[in-house]
Amino acid sequence: MEGLIYTTEIPDKVLFYSLFETTGWNDQYQLNADELMIALKNSWYMISAYDGDRLVGFGRMICDGVVHALILDLIVLPDYRNQGIGGQILDKLVKKCRQHQIRDIQLFCAKGYTGFYENLGFKKRPDEAPGMEIKLFL
């Protein structure tokens, strides 16, 4: 989508909490805005997408810096979905891993979104294993 700004800065606490609430995940997690900020600050890398001052997309990773990375919280505001924003965020996260030669990328995938990740190169893991993965530099 044209006109969006992508940044690696931690988003505003209120804006992120509002975006996070659109997922329904907080029904289970019951996190407040301060707890979410702690999680973000402990991330290895993150990408925020803005339309003006509006946070419309986000994704982050935790990583050991050498072998494993885990992509979390890939969120796009419902009104902005199906415009390529999630793919752009995911691409930027994977590029960061490539730059650091991270060998294994795992991700949490929300129910119903496996096709999105498969179209971008990720594969379902065996039924007895959680998540999805993409192997780099093997």
**17 flagged as catalytic:** no
Specify burial of residue 76 (Cβ count, 10 A radius: 0-12, 13-18, 19+).
buried
Catalytic residue among 17, 45, 50, 117: 117
Q: State the sign of the Cα–Cα–Cα–Cα dihedral 51, 5, 30, 25.
A: positive
CA angle 54, 82, 124 (to 5 degrees): 115
Taking the C-alpha atoms of residue 88 and residue 66, their distance in angstroms, rounded to an integer, is 23
**Is the Cα torsion angle 82, 30, 60, 53 positive or negative in sign?**
positive
Residues labelled catalytic: 117
